Structure 1
């Protein structure tokens, strides 16, 4: 076996005839140790590759105890096996990871911002830089400079050097992994960057295709900078175009007028909400006056399509008009039933006890104390039964 794995010797290899040397199980997950592998194990901010081994899915690849474990969807026997790489996933990771190297180099050389962390996410990537703040102008300059280096089609190469040679190289690095011994792998972007890295990279910057900065957030005294590269940038643009097409149809406006058109719709909606709230207040006053005028001590009403806030407002107005009364109010809203049992200051109704009884009859969850009890029920099918219980209990 070559001491340098196939994924490092040729990151563009997609198939490999290899051998399963040993199998095992870790926390219920079967794994295989191979003679050689084209699948990259998670590390350095780059996720693990996926693929197929002897027709069985490789669901994860990790370095454990000095060996590379290929975790499998099902156990596999020892012996010769064909290994296939999920190339689309790998190439995406190569675009994002190489884009990070270039972005890091330009941020350092153009602005003096060092990179302290890198994360290759499923949809968006980010680096953490030492910039305490980053303006939109800074981002524009950074992005354009990266774009010029992508267009320059700069060659990318990797080599291993001894620790002694490493000390003589002009390496841009966040340091070696703890406990590292032996040769050190360097990845170079010609004329731009030389860095320590064990990951997989492209042949030249042109294969990055494009890199788009998405935004920033403050973190640990520095700045987290979000980006996408390569096919991810095209997919993101496609998603934006699809979304804009839907918005154009809904708002009847071209792209450049979507925001003003949406703002107009929001303003209209807010004005409508204000009118609805005023109408609800007027309705509550009318209903409250009618309920307060009834002769019985416990009055009831059902408000279709209203929320708990409306029921509470209605109850307050009834009990303010006649503190000797109690109210049982219900509503159906959002596919569920609402109920409120409330009593005025001089009402003798035992609200806590009766409230629990009503909740039980309605199959509701609720609570309260003193003079008010409210809850939510799957439906109000037992409303009449609950009202009859209240009446029989002195309400």
Structure 2
């Protein structure tokens, strides 16, 4: 059994311990101590990291009553010094404590139950059995949580026996056969938990809901707490400051300016599409005028694949076999709208890999892409020669 020092003091950063066992398996070294400040992964919270006698502890796990420290190599001494990465620990304390307050506020305001919790590297997710979860609900929950944080209330942790659990004001029924650890923020949240938490709500700093989305008939809520939320604000503030300069407006005018520019861009795109269609139509007239057979094959040096597709779509129902290659994008388009016995997709399937190409299609249409112009040109020549034989 390993004594858990982090339950005596969640703010512990260093301690000394005796090595009880060293296990080497699958290239890993697992070290067992008589006591440890390292929190093992569990209850939705990642493990601590740090060092033991200066040797890296990359992960900590628990099985039964024993805690295993996953290390790069075994320490040489029997009595060792443990040091945890407290910045990581405190981040986890802020996020986990913030998640408790969020879950408590949702239960208090709307009767929603926490059905899943994950503390990730970037954000925390909480799955709530409410659908839909509206923007108004998000705002009210956020206000409720942060008002409680500003009140600087305490987080209390205590152990209760199985006979005492019915007296605990938990937000969900507790069914246990042994003693259990409870974490309580009075008048906001109370539930069983094995994680580490801050002493007072003010240390959470802030809880910010990033988004709420539907998930498996419930709602998944994404949050950041404390320093994570502060850093997130810094990044977004920098973005807004840059937009202020670029758009020559203050933050209150950004949305209006962006929406106006978006409308202008959409209008320009529509005008550009109309002009491209007109130009493509003129090019098709010229191509047909110069066509000497039912085969129209052209390699375009200065047109992208989107452009040649547009020209091809106009030619598609005019009774030609069309082979267009975009040397710019290294792509090819093959169309057959004639009575010639020729399957575009079959030809691609039989030959395109010989030229290191990828693609396919059906009888009337196929397209492909190549790594280089040389392979594209060779495949283009093969298709052209195959069609000529059938004319």
The verdict on a shared fold, with TM-score over 0.5 as the criterion, is yes
> Which aligned pairs between 1:13-24 and structure 2 lie closer than 5 A?
13-24=12-23
Shift of residue 9 of structure 1?
0.8
> How many Å apart are 1:45 and its aligned residue?
1.8
Aligned pairs, number? 387
Which residue of 325, 329, 354 maps to 2:324? Answer: 329
SS state at 2:372 partner: coil
1:259 CA displacement = 1.6
1:230–1:203 CA distance, 2 compared to 1 (3 A): same
What displacement does 1:187 show? Answer: 2.4
Deviations 1:199-242 (A, max 9, x none): 11111111111122333233455433332211111111111112
- Preserved CA contact (<8 Å) 1:326 1:349: no
Question: Are 2:223 and 1:224 aligned?
Answer: no
Change (3 A) 1:80 1:173: farther
Pair 1:292-2:288 in alignment:
yes
Partner of 1:311: 308
Unpaired runs of 5+ in structure 2? none
Q: Does 1:301 align with 2:292?
A: no
Query: Contact (CA 8 Å) 2:106, 2:141: kept in 1 or not?
Result: yes
SS for the counterpart of 2:203 is: helix
Contact kept? 1:289, 1:318, Cα under 8 Å: no
RMSD, aligned α-carbons? 3.0
Give 3-state SS (helix, strand or coil) of 1:258's partner: helix
- Alignment partners' CA distance in 1, 2:342 and 2:60: 68
Change (3 A) 1:387 1:21: closer
**Residue number in structure 1 paired with 2:359:** 366
Structure 1 stretches of 5 or more lacking a match?
none
Give the aligned partner of residue 213 of structure 1.
209
Question: Is structure 2 residue 2 aligned with structure 1 residue 6?
Answer: no
Question: Which residue in the other structure is 1:63 paired with?
Answer: 62
Query: Is residue 2:45 matched to residue 1:42?
Result: no
Please report the TM-score for the alignment, with normalisation by the length of structure 2.
Answer: 0.86
Distance 2:173 2:37 in 1: 26
Query: Please, which moves more after superposition, 42-51 or 353-362?
Result: 353-362
Question: Are the counterparts in 1 of residues 170 and 191 from structure 2 also a CA contact under 8 Å?
Answer: yes
Counterpart pick for 1:186 among 164, 182, 186: 182
Aligned with 2:35: secondary structure?
coil
Cα distance in 1 between the residues matched to 2:140 and 2:387: 77
- Cα deviation 1:316-361 (Å, max 9, x = unaligned): 544644x2x433211144xx30112334414467856765687467
TM superposition score normalised by structure 1: 0.85
Asked whether the equivalents of residues 340 and 373 of structure 1 are also in contact (C-alpha less than 8 Å), the reply is yes
Q: Secondary structure at 1:163's aligned position in 2?
A: coil
Task: String of CA shifts for 1:8-36, please: whole Å, max 9, x gaps.
Answer: 11111101111221122455432111111
Describe the shift of the 1:10–1:273 C-alpha distance in structure 2 as closer, same or farther (beyond 3 A): same
The answer (yes or no) to whether the contact 1:20–1:77 under 8 Å persists in 2 is no
1:228–1:387 Cα change, 3 Å: closer
1:278-289 matched pairs, under 5 angstroms: 278-289=274-285
Contact conserved, 1:116 with 1:174, CA < 8 A, in 2? no
1:23–1:77 contact (8 Å) kept in structure 2: no
Q: Please name the residue that 1:239 is paired with.
A: 235
* Structure 1 residues 287 and 348: CA distance shift in structure 2, 3 A: farther
Aligned counterpart, 2:83: 84
| In the alignment, structure 1 residue 202 sits paired with structure 2 residue 195 | no
Q: CA 1:148–1:343 in structure 2 vs 1: closer, same or farther (change >3 Å)?
A: closer
Q: Distance in 2 between matches of 1:358 and 1:318?
A: 25
